[in-house]
Amino acid sequence: MLMRCVGARSRQEGIVDAFGVGLIGAGFMGKCHALAWTNVSAVFADAPNMRRAALCEIDEIVARRRASEFGFETSTADWRALISNPAVDVVSITAPNALHAPMAIAALEAGKHVWCEKPMAPSLAEAERMTAAARASGKVAILGYNYIQSPAIRYVAKLLKEGAIGRVTHFRAEMDEDYMADAEAPFSWRSEASAGYGALDDFAVHPMSLILSLLGSPSEVFGEMRKPYACRPDGGGRRAVENFDIATALLRMGDGAGGAIQVSRCAWGRKSRLQVQLFGARGAIVFDQERFNEVGVYIADGPVEHQGFRQVLMGPAHPPYERFIIAPGHQMGFNELKIVEAHELLNRIAGRPALTVDFETGLAIERAIHAIARSCKEGRWVSVP
């Protein structure tokens, strides 16, 4: 006998099956959001079956093709039409940075929940307006800071809370990729001033999100930005690069700890090297996103001859790994972080405890990033408001 299973599970309070998703922008991150919405109810038994209601791309034909590939019911080339679609309850914004503010504000004003990719917006004023819109709407608005969702980072947070390495004295964080390392890599929206400072808000926001969630906000920063290539191929000609592919910052924390962030979009050989090293009074912790199913832990106790880093491999003992696969060491992937993030957003909507970077916290990240940019311009330490 065939049985209908849809709706048979107990769901997050206040969210019913067929909760509608609208997705704006179906490029790299758009596909990650689409996969997350498709799979969240299969991974988390308390999540509703999401209705993939509408997809928007800049070109109508592309929109139709992507909607069909990702299982969305309707497509449009007009993001305002997607936002006013009554079947849409939550809007995923995975369009270029310069569009985040107008799209997020319009969605919140229309009474929709928002999952917007990082960074918030190129300017602090826009990020502030987004936060004000979220506050006024009473809706849930979060940002795509997926790395805080990793079982490894949750394990690092637990180790710090338990005092495993003692008081953190200093840290170093890097985010390196090489997708713009080739001087002949084509000009894209990422090199436009309208996208922001460049590597600083493309990349540095990620390590900053980890520092904020693990250690708190920096009180003062000193920054430096570099442009390794002045222009890039664009159509038949060349176009001047309008922002910076490399950024470095020193951070002073309120509790006396200090650290450094360096990020680069031109680091040959590095593909997604978000590395964080935390040094404490009794040991050290090392995490690298390129090997994000493991955490290096060094505890300075016992006989010196036996001391050394232990590599702890993630498994069901490191939630939410067990939601994906029951076997240790079989490894999670990037898209699964997005499924966890979608679930945390649904938890937040349902009024349950949730681990998210909401617009308020996102604004704190933006304040630190803009302070770094200001320091770079003025050549001095700048306080983070």
Ligand X SMILES: NC(=O)c1ccc[n+]([C@@H]2O[C@H](COP(=O)([O-])OP(=O)(O)OC[C@H]3O[C@@H](n4cnc5c(N)ncnc54)[C@H](O)[C@@H]3O)[C@@H](O)[C@H]2O)c1
The binding site for ligand X (CB under 6 A) comprises: 24-30, 56-58, 79, 94-97, 99, 117-118, 144, 146, 202
Question: Considering beta carbons, is residue 27 or 228 the nearer one to ligand X?
Answer: 27
Question: Considering beta carbons, is residue 57 or 294 the nearer one to ligand X?
Answer: 57
Question: Considering beta carbons, is residue 95 or 130 the nearer one to ligand X?
Answer: 95
Question: Considering beta carbons, is residue 78 or 255 the nearer one to ligand X?
Answer: 78
Rg of the chain over all Cα atoms, to the nearest angstrom: 21
Closest CB 248 distance from ligand X, rounded Å: 20
Task: Write the DSSP assignment of 118-185 as a string of letters.
Answer: SSS-SSHHHHHHHHHHHHHHTS-EEE--GGGGSHHHHHHHHHHHTTTT-SEEEEEEEEE--TT-STTS
Closest CB 142 distance from ligand X, rounded Å: 12
Please state, in angstroms and as integers, the Cα–Cα distance from residue 290 to each residue in 116, 161, 293, 315, following that order.
24, 25, 9, 17
C-alpha dihedral sign at 367, 373, 374, 380: positive
The one-letter amino acid at 298? Y
From the CB of residue 215, how many other CB atoms can be counted at a distance below 10 Å? 20
Closest CB 103 distance from ligand X, rounded Å: 8
Closest CB 259 distance from ligand X, rounded Å: 21
Closest CB 330 distance from ligand X, rounded Å: 23
Question: Considering beta carbons, is residue 345 or 382 the nearer one to ligand X?
Answer: 345
C-alpha dihedral sign at 299, 304, 306, 307: positive
Question: Considering beta carbons, is residue 77 or 231 the nearer one to ligand X?
Answer: 77
Beta-bridged to residue 312, according to DSSP, are 295
Residue at shortest CB range from ligand X = 27
Is residue 280 within 8 Å of 165, Cβ to Cβ? Answer: yes
Closest CB 131 distance from ligand X, rounded Å: 17
